Chain A
Amino acid sequence: MNDLMVMVEIAGRRCALNAHNVSSVIELGVVTPVPRTADFIAGITAMRSQSLTVIDCRRALGMDPDKFPTDHRGAVVTIANHSYALMVDRIDDINTATSEVENVSGGFGPEWSRITTGMVETSTGPALLIDLALLIAGPESLEVAA
């Protein structure tokens, strides 16, 4: 409770990223595509002298990004010593979570349940709290295909 959340919109749904995990929000400049990898890996880009792996969150959920707008900025997160930039529909604002993480009976739908730890209430309404490690693992089916 009272954790800061970065509010983003992924595939048209309001989601929350724990602000602890987000080191910065950068302009996504040129993204170099990486052939032969799973399609949710949009490519690599540079933040200062670091290289970031750009993850298209919509594809990581198995959705088609063309149906949604894409923010020109990306949220930079660090998971297991590697840095990633998350490509989302829109990066909104920072908000405070006003509730504990809760589950809803019936779940959030198979794609969403896979990448979330539950729902949090914020001042702008309920949002899905994203588990980053699960998100970057990508949809299993795609990983096998890759």
Chain B
Amino acid sequence: MDDLLADFVAETREMLEASEGEIIAWEADPTDRARLDTIFRFVHTVKGNCGFFDFPRLASLSHAAEDALSDCRAGRREADSALVSAVLAVIDRIVEMVDIIEAGDEIPEGSDDALIAALGENSDLAAGEIDGLSDLVGAVEEVAAAIENAEDGAVEDASDDQDTPRAVSQNAGVQRSIRLPVDLLDRVMSGVSDMVLARNDLAHRLRQAGNQPTIDGPFERLTTILSDVRDAITRMRMQRIETLYTALPRLVRDLSADLGKQVMIDLEGGDVELDREMIETVRDPLTHIIRNAIDHGIEEPSSRLSKGKREIGILSISARQSGNTISIVVSDDGDGLNEERIAAKAVSVGLITAAERASMSRDKILQLVFEPGFSTAETVSNVSGRGVGLDVVRDNLERVGGSISVSSTPGVGSMFTLKVPLTLSIIAGLTVEVGDQRFAIPQSYIEEIIDSTSKSLDFTRVGETALITFRGNRIPCLSLAEVLGLPSTDIAEGEHTMVLLRLASGDLFALAIDRIHHHGDLVVKPLAPAVMNCGVYAGSTLLDDGQPILLLDVTNVAAEHGLVSDARTRVLQAANQQDQDTDEVLSRAMLFTDYDNRKRAVRLELVQRIETAKAEDIDISPDGKRAVIDGVILPLVGLPEGQKATGKIRFLRLSDETCELLYAVREVDDAVELQNALKPVDDDPLVEALTLVDGQTIALIDGHEIFARYGEPPELTSKPTCHLPDSDWARTILGPLVSAAGYEVVSGSDEAGDIAIVLDDSEPDTSLTDGEFIRLRSQPDAANNDGSIYRYDRDGLVDALRRARAGGKR
């Protein structure tokens, strides 16, 4: 029985989490049937489950909510905000009771009549509603019985209303979950890791022993099974941050309703995965910051309007994994933090002196809100400002190795950035070598890898700072060997392989390394505090051979060298960047190898995308090759004549803004800058010029010539129009034929076409088209040779249409 009860509690909780967000969404759009169904299922399942236990209060509450909702479902009642509030209140009461049940206490005696009455359509009707309830009790008991039957496998026909509930109770059985101590998971996890290492060792020995078919087969199987198990185990600990998000819409709704504000919540990055434990750690701080943002940040609607903002404030929460930290950014478009008030308060409570205040930057002052004993709200409301301040939030986060910071622009809004580490996580990482030592860099930072052979780096030193030029921008460059204080290797300065890293703040820098080793998934393990303290490493990871390597803390390394800008300059930078981008007139080209194995380049501006298509999608006809990409037929060049392509083919999709064409390439190499002089050539019209890229001669495709020869506007947008006479025959029989010939059909006297079709003797109306008229006659034989076509002469008609099209368009 106890197990059953625990199941009931767990199931109720799970369904509740899933439906919280739905309720708010439903209120926003009461006609949304799917949401209504979800909520209905929740209360219904609770009610149904109560039938197994003796919880009369729980049963009557869920019952009442179910009634109200089923009225909505049946269309007997409109869902309004009063109803939503009442349903929410009932759900809250249910949660309270579930908590009591979980604690093993008796549900205290009490009355839920007020709540139940609130569900009524209006207070006058409440009494009648309660009478109605008793009628419905019978019906509900039927449903409950139906569920029991369903679970026994004896499914009987029931009325419409009872169909859904039964399906639900069956579904509920599928999503079963159990709770496990994290310790146990850890043990299983490290056991599996050990197994992987043992397997690697065995693999090594097998290789030494040579091929042994009898052993290799089972060994392969072991490998596959092991990697499956490892995946599953890893996922066991991880949870999507969505589970944290589901409760937020409700929180925001309640708070904003309490405070008379209008707030819209925008959630992003719900698919970021986080250690289960870490999710719990983040929950409270996040709630606290949201409360603060709504209470202190976002203004009242009237005040917002007077400032020229939208009435509805926006609170956006986004999660992002960067390296082995998760950043959760909570930003609002409220009034921002008041620097003066924070400073005054800090001085008054003795955190800083007036003299210190004078020398502090705005940013520094803002961070004071995380100091103990701080609340700047004028009045203490029941939402925030109860003495538990942001200092507690910071302490909680720092305890798990996280951090919090704030940036804010007066009148525009503020942004809180929470960072929490992934104590245990799997990240994609790049392993690099410096000297004879390897280090790992989280993949998420890596923007691009530039090979040492690339001449476009332009490595220079300005003072002690090294700079490289990449795509026209000067980027600071750190040498990993120097950062780590390793002896420099014999690779000359500027000949290193560069890894371009982009920080979460948007700053870009290059890291010079000796070699790229490999990249793959890394299991990040924490390091001892003595190692962590030096600020260069974020963790360690084991290579396949069991050798440990260190994971670099990219953000810290960058910060140590002063490469991180703060939030405010970031906005400016982004704006500047855009300006720069438009000013940029550097010639860049896409380097590729064509099907004749020649190195060619095409100007980057022409390249829309790199496409891949199967050889079957290519159509070869006498007047050229075409391929279908995304449902559009595009001309195709670059495939050698008379050779049948097989497998998958890559194309550069080129565009001159109206026409598009595909250029088949064997291999796409890289984007390069055209730094050297272009030498025009005459022998091949398709080549604009020859140039040197990295010491190789490259032919640059002539964009003008290639579009002049092969360019076709994409089929979809280029249809000429044909005006048809207004008759049933024209619409149903002629219309499809004309469409099939590549025309768009128009009719009616107010629309003109590129060409027009007229029947028999009717006068050609010149307002219908500027182009050609095609005259159709009803009789097979022409009375006089007026150039008309018999209306069932398909070939003649199609031919005429094609000629008209060729004449009109080309």
Residues of chain A whose beta carbon lies under 8 Å from any beta carbon of chain B: 30, 32-38, 41, 44-46, 48-51, 53, 80, 82, 84, 136-138, 146
B531 partner, pick from A34, A45, A50, beta carbons under 8 A: A34
- Asked if A146 and B534 sit within 8 Å, CB to CB, the answer is yes
* Chain B, 532-589, CB within 8 A of any chain A CB: 533-534, 536-537, 540, 542, 546-550
B485 partner, pick from A35, A38, A50, A53, beta carbons under 8 A: A35
Which 9 residue pairs are nearest across A and B when measured between Cβ atoms?
A49-B193, A35-B484, A53-B528, A82-B528, A51-B548, A51-B540, A48-B194, A44-B548, A46-B548
Question: How many Å lie between the Cα of A41 and that of B527 in the bound state?
Answer: 12
Interface centre among B190, B546, B548 (most CB of A within 10 A): B548
Residues in A whose Cβ lies below 8 Å from that of B484: 35-36
Residues in B whose Cβ lies below 8 Å from that of A82: 526-529
Question: How many Å lie between the Cα of A80 and that of B531 in the bound state?
Answer: 14
Question: How many Å lie between the Cα of A32 and that of B534 in the bound state?
Answer: 16
- Does B525 belong to the interface (CB within 8 Å)? yes
CB distance from A36 to the nearest CB of B (A): 5
Question: How many Å lie between the Cα of A67 and that of B311 in the bound state?
Answer: 76
- Number of B residues near A (Cβ < 8 Å) is 28
- Asked if B547 and A30 sit within 8 Å, CB to CB, the answer is yes
Which residue of chain B has its CB nearest to the CB of A45? B548
Question: How many Å lie between the Cα of A98 and that of B735 in the bound state?
Answer: 107
Which residue of chain A has its CB nearest to the CB of B189? A49
- Asked if A32 and B529 sit within 8 Å, CB to CB, the answer is no
Question: How many Å lie between the Cα of A51 and that of B539 in the bound state?
Answer: 10
A49 touching B529 in the complex, CB below 8 Å, given contacts A32-B549, A44-B540: no
- Does B607 belong to the interface (CB within 8 Å)? no
- Does B530 belong to the interface (CB within 8 Å)? yes
CB distance from B182 to the nearest CB of A (A): 13
A36 touching B485 in the complex, CB below 8 Å, given contacts A49-B196, A84-B528, A146-B534: yes
Question: How many Å lie between the Cα of A46 and that of B534 in the bound state?
Answer: 21
Residues in A whose Cβ lies below 8 Å from that of B531: 34, 37, 41, 44, 53
- Does B437 belong to the interface (CB within 8 Å)? yes
- Asked if A46 and B190 sit within 8 Å, CB to CB, the answer is no
Question: How many Å lie between the Cα of A61 and that of B483 in the bound state?
Answer: 27
Question: How many Å lie between the Cα of A41 and that of B528 in the bound state?
Answer: 10
Residues in B whose Cβ lies below 8 Å from that of A50: 190, 525
- Asked if A49 and B549 sit within 8 Å, CB to CB, the answer is no
CB distance from B396 to the nearest CB of A (A): 19
CB distance from A80 to the nearest CB of B (A): 8
CB distance from A75 to the nearest CB of B (A): 15
- Asked if A32 and B528 sit within 8 Å, CB to CB, the answer is no
- Asked if A34 and B550 sit within 8 Å, CB to CB, the answer is yes
Interface string of B190-201 (1 = CB under 8 A from A): 100110110000
Question: How many Å lie between the Cα of A136 and that of B486 in the bound state?
Answer: 24
Which residue of chain B has its CB nearest to the CB of A138? B530
> Can you list 26 pairs linking A and B with CB atoms under 8 Å apart?
A34-B550, A35-B437, A35-B484, A35-B486, A35-B536, A36-B484, A38-B530, A41-B530, A46-B542, A46-B548, A48-B190, A48-B193, A48-B194, A49-B193, A49-B197, A49-B542, A49-B546, A50-B190, A50-B525, A51-B525, A53-B528, A82-B526, A82-B527, A84-B528, A146-B533, A146-B534
CB distance from B431 to the nearest CB of A (A): 13
- Asked if B485 and A49 sit within 8 Å, CB to CB, the answer is no
- Asked if A36 and B548 sit within 8 Å, CB to CB, the answer is no
Question: How many Å lie between the Cα of A55 and that of B454 in the bound state?
Answer: 42
A46 touching B536 in the complex, CB below 8 Å, given contacts A33-B437, A136-B530: no
CB distance from A55 to the nearest CB of B (A): 8
Residues in B whose Cβ lies below 8 Å from that of A35: 437, 484-486, 536
B194 partner, pick from A41, A49, A53, beta carbons under 8 A: A49
Residues in B whose Cβ lies below 8 Å from that of A53: 527-528, 530-531
Question: How many Å lie between the Cα of A104 and that of B536 in the bound state?
Answer: 42
A51 touching B542 in the complex, CB below 8 Å, given contacts A33-B437, A34-B550, A138-B530: yes
Interface centre among A35, A53, A80, A138 (most CB of B within 10 A): A35
* Chain B, 188-222, CB within 8 A of any chain A CB: 190, 193-194, 196-197
CB distance from A129 to the nearest CB of B (A): 22
